[in-house]
Amino acid sequence: EPEVTQTPSHQVTQMGQEVILRCVPISNHLYFYWYRQILGQKVEFLVSFYNNEISEKSEIFDDQFSVERPDGSNFTLKIRSTKLEDSAMYFCASSVLGRFTDTQYFGPGTRLTVL
């Protein structure tokens, strides 16, 4: 069964460094999402992406964050200058249809630790 994959599974970085988290969505899916969960807190929506554009973003998704689909398969989340509070589990998801009313398939997550 096709699945969403994410790399790396764990990323450790120093405060102020740039990180890129990678996701490979399911191949026929058109809508892509990033979520995060800070330890002990609720899952939070970051951004949705369709047709090479951001379609929705939350207040968390500020200028430090960017997303890209650099080729036909990868979907990346870049954090420009990491802060301690960016430490979290980051999940990528994809769906065939969008507007959040279609089933979303989640990847296994990347644990980001900012030191």
Partner 1 sequence: ILNVEQSPQSLHVQEGDSTNFTCSFPSSNFYALHWYRWETAKSPEALFVMTLNGDEKKKGRISATLNTKEGYSYLYIKGSQPEDSATYLCAFLSDRDSSYKLIFGSGTRLLVRP
106, β-bridge pairs: 93
Q: Supply 53's token pair.
A: 């554009």
Q: Supply 110's token pair.
A: 């990347």
Q: Which is nearer to partner 1, 82 or 110 (CB)?
A: 110
Residue 10 lies near partner 1 (rule: CB under 8 A): no
Of 110, 97, 111, 86, nearest to 48 (Cα)? 97
Residue 105 lies near partner 1 (rule: CB under 8 A): yes
Q: Is 84 helix (H, G, I), strand (E, B) or coil?
A: helix
Residue 100 lies near partner 1 (rule: CB under 8 A): yes
Which span (24-32, 62-70, 72-80, 102-110) binds partner 1, by CB under 8 A?
102-110
Q: Which residues bind partner 1 (CB under 8 A)?
A: 4, 42-45, 56, 58, 91, 99-109
